[in-house]
Every structure is written in C-alpha cells, then in structure tokens.
Amino acid sequence: MGNITLKDIAKKAGVSEATVSLVLNNKSVVNSRTRERVLKCIEEMNYKPNPLARGLALRKSMTIGLVCPDSENPYYGKLMKLLGHYCNQYGYSLVLGVSNNNPDMETRIMENFVDKQYDGIIVLPLNIRKNESRVFTDVKENKIPIVFCTSYYTGFKKDCVLTDYAEGSYQLTRYLLENGHRELWYFVTSDKKLPVAQERISGYRRAFAEMGLDVEQDWIVGCDDISVEYGYAKTKQLLQSGRTPDGILALNDYMAYGIKKAIQECGYRIPEDISLAGYDDVFYHLIADKPLTTVHQDLDSMAANTVNLLMQKMNKDFQPKQPVQHLIRPSLVVRKTTKGD
C-alpha cells in the first residue's frame, strides 16, 4: 500500500478530511465517539504523519517528554511502551529521560525538556522526592502542559491518571484477613505523607477496621527503596529479629521477589508459614515455582488516559476549573503465594 492520506482515513472512517485533521490536531470540537473511530482507523491503516511537516505547520516540536524513575523495573518498562504507542497514534514522538530514582537527575531532565520546548511532559513520579513543588516552577512559567501518571506530587496542580491504590490495598488486605491472617506487614514508602503511601495505608487500615481488628503501628514498614535488593535486606532484617508475620504485602511485584528469597533463606515456607503478595501484576513470572498473588493494574487504560488527557491540555480550548484526576480501578489476582480459598 502506498502513502496513506487524510482522504483515505476520512473515507474509511466515514467523515470529512477536515474532521480527520481536527482529530490529529487534538481539537475538542470532535465528539468522543467520532474521535475514537478516526483514531482506530489511523491505527488500522498504520498512518504515519510527517512530524517535521506537521511541526512546521503547527509551530510545534511534535515531541512529548517522559520522565521515568527506573527503566529496568518491568512495571515502568511496560508502561513506557504503552505511552509511546498512544503518543504515536497522535503523531507525536516520545523522548525518555530516566532519573534512576535521583531527585536531582529528575530536576535536570525537566529543565532539559523545558529548554527544548517540548509540546508536553508526562511524569512518572519518584516515590522519595521531598521538595516536590519547586521542581516544576519552570514548567508552570513556560506553560508547558504536564500530566502525572501513577502518582503525583503535592503542592502542584495535579492533573493525573493513577490506579485506585486505596481500593487495591483494601481488596488484598480484606482477602487475607477473611482467610485467617492477622499480623500482616505492609511495605510502603518511608515517607508516609506521599499521596500513594497515604492511599495504600488507608485501604489497608479500612480492611482491618471493617473486620473489627487492630493494626499495630510497626506492621506498616517504611522502605527507602523499592528494589529487589532492598526488599530482600529489609525482610531478612525483620525476620532475624525473631518476629514472624502471617503475611507480607510488598510495595510492588519487583520487591516481592526479594522478599520471597529472604523468607525462604530464613527457613520459612510460602504460603504455609508466611503468605506473600505483590502489587502491579507485571513481575509474577519470576516466582515461577509459586506464581505471585498480586493486585492487577490496567496499564493500558492508564497509558491511554494519560496521553488523552495530555492532548486535551495541549489544546487551548481545554480549560478545566479544577485539576483533572482519572482513577483506574484495580483488581485482585489470587495465585499460589497466599493461603486462602
């Protein structure tokens, strides 16, 4: 097939060429049903807009900057791929900046994106940033649209797309409590004031409260890192102190792998002695002998909603009075690492 034109797309979608152009340029006058139909045709026909030509015509860079804390984590890897896919659907290239969980590096990446005048920025925030409000001053002043995905920073106008962490934590905790567990250690970020930490803890506590049970404060374990290595070291330290929980809820599937290793090295069986659960549903295959119970996040929906929201913000006609927040509902996935039904 030769070069696909707007006329070809319009014919297939049953709309005018002007409508296709409006969708490509992210104009809000096109209703959502028509927009989805046109975008579907664009994808099916593998239409590739010429970024240079479009950029010159629209005075845009046709580039979106993505700030990511850790490219080696499978969760972020999958999410980055999906974000790139949906940006490409709109004719934009996605440029990646990896902070390696370093707040100073994240700041430099943001400054670089601002200097290059990218059309928009997507941020997958760090879990450990303290001075979150200052880093985005340049973004505000340069009026570059920005959307947070997976979490957000307090002190900043937070247009964001994230999973319902409180609901996910509640579902997982409630399931374990209903199946006889009582002492459940919950690994969360050490700064419990961060939005994600607060939401996860609230879901965890709600499940205990509904069951008429108390939570001991030291069951909520603050973590300075979210890596496999940290999960291993922290768990080994706690277990060697003589404490034994009924179950451990990892901050993510990645960390759960390290926790699993520590549990087994300390002579405990999973799940007979200690149940183990993760969060994200992207890493359970590494626990091949016992697939991991976890909370599934719909990353495809998160990516699609993030890019759609950013495209709306890049449209000057989009002027919401309040920050926009999309919550994606998670779901519990019970496998072999927890005692239950």
Q: Kindly tell me the burial class for residue 130, based on how many C-beta atoms sit within 10 Å of its own C-beta (0-12, 13-18, 19 or more).
A: exposed
152-210: pLDDT as tens digits: 876 666 789 999 999 999 999 999 999 999 999 999 988 777 788 889 999 999 999 99
Comparing 4 with 168, which gets the higher pLDDT?
168
Comparing 2 with 28, which gets the higher pLDDT?
28
* CA dist., res. 40 & res. 240, Å (int): 55
Angle (CA) 9 298 300, round 5°: 25
211-248: pLDDT as tens digits: 999 999 999 999 988 888 999 999 999 999 988 999 99
pLDDT at 14 exceeding the cut of 50: yes
pLDDT at 57 exceeding the cut of 50: no
CATH number for the domain whose boundaries are 49-163+299-328: 3.40.50.2300
Question: Is omega for the bond preceding 74 within 30 degrees of 0, making it cis?
Answer: no
Closest CA to 325 of 149, 128, 81, 205: 149
CB 34: neighbour CB atoms within 10 A? 16
pLDDT at 106 exceeding the cut of 60: yes
CATH superfamily for domain 1-48: lambda repressor-like DNA-binding domains (1.10.260.40)
* CA dist., res. 132 & res. 146, Å (int): 14
Tokens 């010159």 belong to which residue? 56
- Model-wide pTM > 0.75: yes
Domain with CATH 1.10.260.40 in the chain: 1-48
pLDDT band at 52 (very low <50, low <70, confident <90, very high): very low
Q: What is the pLDDT of residue 2?
A: 54
pLDDT at 138 exceeding the cut of 70: no
* CA dist., res. 220 & res. 197, Å (int): 10
pLDDT at 291 exceeding the cut of 80: yes
CATH superfamily for domain 165-297: Response regulator (3.40.50.2300)
Domain with CATH 3.40.50.2300 in the chain: 49-163+299-328, 165-297
Backbone angles phi, psi at 257, to 5 degrees: -65, -40
The strands making up 247-249's β-sheet, listed across from edge to edge, are 220-223, 184-189, 247-249, 275-277
Give the tokens for residue 255.
């960390």
pLDDT at 53 exceeding the cut of 60: no
Q: What is the pLDDT of residue 140?
A: 66
Q: What is the pLDDT of residue 182?
A: 96
Q: Residue 246 region, left (φ>0) first, then alpha (ψ -120 to 50), else beta?
A: alpha
